[in-house]
Amino acid sequence: MKNAPLPEGIRLIDGWFDRDGQVALIAAIRAVVAEAPLYRPEMPRTGKPFSVRMTNCGPLGWVSDRAGYRYQPLHPVTGCPWPAIPEVLLALWGEVADYPHPPEACLVNFYDETARMGLHRDEDEAALDAPVVSVSLGDSCLFRIGGRERSDPTRSFRLASGDVFVLGGPSRLAFHGVDRIYPGSSTLLERGGRINLTLRRVTSPG
Ligand X SMILES: O=C(O)CCC(=O)C(=O)O
- Letters for 148-167 (x = contact with ligand X by CB under 6 A, - = none) are -----------x--------
Q: Which does 89 bind (CB under 5 to 8 A by kind): Fe ion, ligand X, none?
A: none
What distance in Å separates the CA atoms of residue 8 and residue 131, rounded to the nearest whole number?
12
**In the chain, what is the straight-line distance between the N-terminal and C-terminal CA atoms, in Å?**
40
122 binds ligand X (CB under 6 A): yes
Distance between CA atoms of residues 55 and 39, nearest Å: 7
Give me the least distance between CB of 41 and ligand X, in Å please.
11
56 interacts with ligand X by CB under 6 A:
no
196 marked as part of a ligand binding site = yes
- Residues 119-158, one symbol each (x = binds Fe ion by CB under 5 A, - = not), give ---x------------------------------------
Q: Which residues of 81-109 are buried (b: 16+ CB within 10 A; e: fewer)?
A: bbbebbeebbebbeebbebeebbbbbbbb
Report if residue 196 touches ligand X, rule: CB under 6 A: yes
When the beta carbons of 122 and 125 are compared against Fe ion, the nearer one is 122
Q: How far apart are CA 187 and CA 139, in angstroms?
A: 8
DSSP string, 102-114: --SEEEEEEE-TT
Please say which residue, 89 or 178, places its beta carbon nearer to ligand X: 178
Among positions 117, 164, 199, 202, the unique one binding ligand X when judged by CB under 6 A: 117
Closest residue to bound ligand X by CB = 196
Q: What angle do CA 31, 47, 75 make, to 5 degrees?
A: 25
Which contiguous run of DSSP H or E holds residue 198? strand 194-200
112 assigned binding-site residue:
no
> Does the annotation list 139 as a binding residue?
no
Residue set of the binding site: 62, 69-71, 109-111, 120, 122, 124, 150, 176, 194-200
